[in-house]
Amino acid sequence: MSTLANKFLPNPKTIAIVGCPFSGGQPKLGVDKGPIHLVEAGLIEQLQEIGWKVDFDGHHQFEEIQAAADPPIGTLRNPRLVSHVCESVASVVGGHAKNGQLPVTLGGDHSLAMGTISGTLDSYPEACVIWVDAHADINTSETTGSGNIHGMPVSFLLGLGEKFPEFAWIRPVLKPERIVYIGLRDVDAGEKRILRENKITAFSMHEVDKYGIGKVVEMALDHVNPNRDLPIHLSFDVDALDPSVAPSTGTPVRGGLTFREGHYICEAIHETGLLVALDLMEVNPSLEDPESVRQTVAVGCSLVRSALGETLL
């Protein structure tokens, strides 16, 4: 394990695993099984082996939040369910952060980031977000083509677009200069406009190809955390990786990050000593053959270990 000190966590350094078997932000079944597969693959034991104390009290259950009477609001699908679940997740993540733990949220679909990042910002108002993804997830109700909220969490966190009472709990405290993207390659036209209008820095696969992943991560950190003194929330969607690396995910897009590029991002964030929260999202064990599922789950576990200090030497 890396012996690097974390500038924000007390000793003994403790991870709180937040298992979120939730799929309501998108239509494909199975992504709610991702956290269960990650834990069953031995993730908790793996993190203990690299020196962390790990708290895990079971996966969060959302049965009490009913979606039966959840008609669309405008274009938004499952809006009340997504809002209620994300508000619950925000409370859990925020509670762990306030207790000096590092919340590791296992999704589940990426709409959950409305909750995880809200929880982080409640405890660390100055935190910046590094969002690793094939998609920008910054559609608003006006720009979305599908109505699936897993494509919208960043717009809610920034306070963009139409306001809905159901999402009034989200305080739009994330500032455009405090989020940076790495790995984008499937961005809707409306999202491109939103990124430009809000001057949000994004490094697409074009920049990864042009500069190499080491330089891209350095530039991303220079933008969002220039003095290397702000807490970092890393939100990693496994579809940022090329489908040849992580095939079992809901919206795979060719031309993604290699195995090593994905891991380098996590290693470099760990090396800052500034990581205070981590999301691993969109592992969907229902979409591929058993070997592809095993491969995707193994990569997910490996990314988490890298972000938390596992080194090659």
Query: Using CA atoms in the order 100, 104, 108, 109, what is the torsion angle rounded to 10 degrees?
Result: 80
Sign of CA pseudo-dihedral 129, 39, 151, 253? positive
Verify whether residue 60 is a known catalytic residue. Answer: no
Question: In a 3-state reduction of DSSP, which class is residue 95?
Answer: helix
Catalytic residue among 70, 87, 122, 137: 137
Catalytic residue among 122, 133, 242, 310: 133
Verify whether residue 137 is a known catalytic residue. Answer: yes
8 A C-beta contact, residue 113 and residue 153: yes
Catalytic residue among 87, 267, 282, 310: 282
- What is the amino acid identity at position 156? F
Catalytic residue among 32, 237, 261, 279: 237
Verify whether residue 135 is a known catalytic residue. Answer: yes
Catalytic residue among 150, 233, 263, 270: 150
Radius of gyration of the chain (CA): 18
Catalytic residue among 37, 84, 96, 110: 110
Verify whether residue 282 is a known catalytic residue. Answer: yes
Catalytic residue among 37, 59, 135, 233: 135
Enclosing H/E stretch for 196:
helix 189-197
**Helix %, strand %, coil % for the chain, to 5?**
40, 15, 45
Catalytic residue among 32, 239, 267, 279: 239
8 A C-beta contact, residue 264 and residue 214: yes
Q: Which residues are catalytic?
A: 110, 133, 135, 137, 150, 237, 239, 282
